[in-house]
Amino acid sequence: MAGRASDRVYAQLRQAIDQGMIVPGQRLLEVEVAERFAVSRTPVREALIRLAREGVLEKAERGFGVPHDDRRTFFERIDARRLLDVEIARLAALATAQTAPRDTLEAELAAAEAAHADDEPQAFAQAHYALRDAVRVLAGNRLLARCAELVDDSFRVGRERLYAVEAYRDLTLKADRQLVEAIRSGDADAAVSATHLFLDAIEQVGQRRPD
């Protein structure tokens, strides 16, 4: 029972964070979260600790909070993605050239394009990250996938605000198209190049961020 309650609290907290209902600087106390979800403090504690381990929350005074996405964290994330995403893209292209299905990639790319056209940042973010998940599945390395998911989790709060900017959605969608085409063609070099170009572009965006 406690395990199921913990999973439910975990899922609902993640959704609230994704949707901006819980923001950086807002403190989450066990007793308040327990009252909110009408459960005991034990499953709440388990859910909060789980979210902290995933980097979605951080320990704060007398509770937990959503971390601020500062300049240093932004560039640390880019460095981590250069180590992870490039290899994942390469492996996904090689796997697709052999046996892996492509339908999921095509569907998520179409969903991202539709959300972009409809100016729906939240739907765009969901489709883009679903596409990234599909690429990780195609790559076939579960440890690499898990590490990449942890890096993505550290950006859950800021991504919808960023995707509210049409130019950034354009940039992201262009990179997604290039990556899907490279994977569809089984071209590992093109998949690596598309990933590097995208990371270079978002690094330039980061250079304009205030300290």
What pLDDT shows up at residue 190?
97
71-207 belongs to which CATH class?
mainly alpha
What pLDDT shows up at residue 96?
65
b/e per residue, 176-186, with b = 16+ CB within 10 A?
A: bebbbebbeeb
pTM greater than the 0.85 cutoff: no
The whole-angstrom separation of Cα 142 and Cα 148 is 10
User: Is the Cβ–Cβ distance between 61 and 17 less than 8 Å?
Assistant: no
Chunked in runs of 10, what are the mean pLDDT values of the chain (211 residues)?
A: 79 83 83 90 92 83 80 87 96 74 85 95 89 93 92 71 85 94 94 94 74 55
Q: Where are the domains of the chain?
A: 2-65, 71-207
The whole-angstrom separation of Cα 87 and Cα 66 is 29
What pLDDT shows up at residue 18?
74
**Residues shown for the chain:** 211
What pLDDT shows up at residue 99?
53
Residue-wise pLDDT for 5-63, tens only, equals 899 999 999 888 877 788 777 888 899 999 988 899 999 999 999 888 887 888 877 78
Does domain 2-65 fall into CATH 1.10.3720.10? no
The whole-angstrom separation of Cα 172 and Cα 35 is 40
What pLDDT shows up at residue 2?
54
The whole-angstrom separation of Cα 126 and Cα 152 is 12
Per-residue DSSP letter, 38: T
